Structure 1
Amino acid sequence: MSEPGPVQLTELPLEALIACHECDLLMRKPQLADGECAQCPRCGYELYSHRHHVIRRSLALVCAALLLYIPANFLPLMQLNLLGQTREDTIWSGVLGLYDSGMQSIALLVFLCSMAVPLLKLLCQFFVLLSIRFNWGRSYGLLLYRIYHHMRDWGMLEVYLMGVLVSIVKLGDIAELSLGFGLLCFVALLFVQVWLEVTMEAHQIWSALSGEDSHAGD
């Protein structure tokens, strides 16, 4: 664990400095080995860390998330049996149901937050990692990574999952429910995306895209 010391602005070039996101302390950017992290000496905030094989691990996770995306959205989340009638519900059928019920704006919002934006985020991450791994299209990688950061707050799979769980609890008293394979894939997709967010260290990605970290693609 490394704690960089404060410096005068005139002592070092800008690329050798870093500011704490919490207390705005300006300090010298430390050089980290694998597994180390840098902390602010004033407030203790973790500035960034250097993870092992971050590109390979992130590529594996983003590929797993893309494979889970189709079954999570188009396979049944649950099967509802009420008064002798059986119905299977998926995320896509929920969007269509809202649209057919005259709630087009809500259907569009659900589609964007639960399907479109999460897929676009994964595709951005995938192509950013490929540009680093194979050392091509770094300028496009920088653009896609900026787009990804702007979309981070719009992908709300965890909110949709909470809605599904609330529906299961409420409908369980009036109908016979059985969980579908799509729900398992949806939960797995959510956990893989959280794991990917933790693994894909932003500081290393920015450094690799700008050419500062030549070993990030290893």
Structure 2
Amino acid sequence: MSLDRWVVCEQCDSVYTRRPLRPGEVADCARCGHHLYRHHRFDLERLLALTLATAIVFVMANVYPVVALNAQGAYNAATIWGAVIATWESGVAPVAFISALLVFFFPLSQICLFAYVLLGLRRGRRPAEFRQAMHALSLMQPWSMAEVFMLGILVAIVKLHGVMTVIPGIGLWSFAILTLLLAALTSYDLQDLWDIAEDVEAGRPA
């Protein structure tokens, strides 16, 4: 029997033979109860489609205005990057830097890394930098905070509504959808991708 058919528990080092699972099933260690592996919740095609949709909405959220403000005839449209730049120019550089990381660079990096890994696996091979990409995804998952930024936008809109006319823009709706898509993308168990990579290397269908 080949080595890729064995599963070793990370907690107690118990060794098991990997067996096929039905949808929804999870394999746990009989000795300590640690999670070993589970049935893949998504196939590669569906996860690739989710990644592509997230990338498209990410571009829309960053290109189109989030809100338009109308105060006594003075009209001004604000984008996410415009807000970050305005924060930087107002002298609060640390806040601008952190905002840029959390709402732009981290989500963009996650989307690109998912696309890199999934496209490689879809071609039937493990990408050259697979381990590094997976490690980076694991590190960035806790820092995906688009929903926090979305909540801040909504609070700001409510506060400004009594002072001036606030018109939600395409960027706001795109960012709301982006928040949901990123939540779905980052909720995917990365261990499943490791398992799929092992299946691809062993010549088993992913």
Specify the TM-score bucket, using the shorter chain as the normaliser.
Answer: 0.7 to 0.9
Say yes or no: does 1:206 pair with 2:194.
yes
What does residue 151 of structure 1 align with?
Answer: 140
1:215 aligns with 2:205: yes
What 5-or-longer segments of structure 1 have no aligned partner? 1-11
- SS of 1:152 mapped into structure 2: helix
Q: Is the 8 A contact 1:62 1:196 kept in 2?
A: yes
1:178 is aligned, of 167, 177, 189, to: 167
Note the 1:56-135 alignment, pairs <5 A.
56-135=45-124
- Aligned residue for 1:35? 23
Q: Give the whole-Å Cα distance in 1 for the aligned partners of 2:147 and 2:203.
A: 33
My pick for the range that moved more, 43-52 or 57-66, is 43-52
Q: Give unpaired runs (5+ residues) of structure 2.
A: none
From 33, 45, 51, the equivalent of 2:40 is: 51
Residues 36 and 30 (structure 1 numbering): CA distance in 2 closer, same or farther, change over 3 Å? farther
Q: Which amino acid aligns with 2:9?
A: I
Give distance in 2, aligned partners of 1:136 and 1:39: 25
- Taking structure 1 as reference, are residues 43 and 85 closer, same or farther at Cα in structure 2, changes over 3 Å only? farther
Amino acid at match of 1:173: G
**1:30 Cα deviation after fit:** 4.9
SS at match of 1:153: helix
Matches within 5 A, 1:160-199: 160-198=149-187
Q: Structure 1 residue 214: deviation in Å? A: 2.5
Partner of 1:6: none
**How far apart, in 1, do the equivalents of 2:68 and 2:32 lie?**
51
Distance 1:206 1:213 in 2: 14
Paired residues of 2:84 and 2:96 also in contact (CA < 8 A): yes
SS at the partner of 1:111?
helix
Answer with 82-91 or 26-35: which moved more. 26-35
2:129 maps to 1:140: yes
Give the drift of 1:145.
1.3
How many corresponding residue pairs? 201
Offset at 1:176?
A: 1.1
Q: After superposing the two structures, state which structure 1 stretch, 93-102 or 201-210, moved more.
A: 201-210
The one-letter code matched in structure 1 to 2:194 is W
**Bigger helix fraction:** 2
Q: 1:30 to 1:135 in 2, by over 3 A?
A: closer
The runs of at least 4 consecutive aligned structure 1 residues that moved more than 3 Å come to: 12-15, 24-30, 39-48
Counterpart AA for 1:202: L
Q: Is the 8 Å Cα contact of residues 82 and 176 (structure 1) preserved in structure 2?
A: yes
CA 1:132–1:164: 2 relative to 1, 3 Å: same
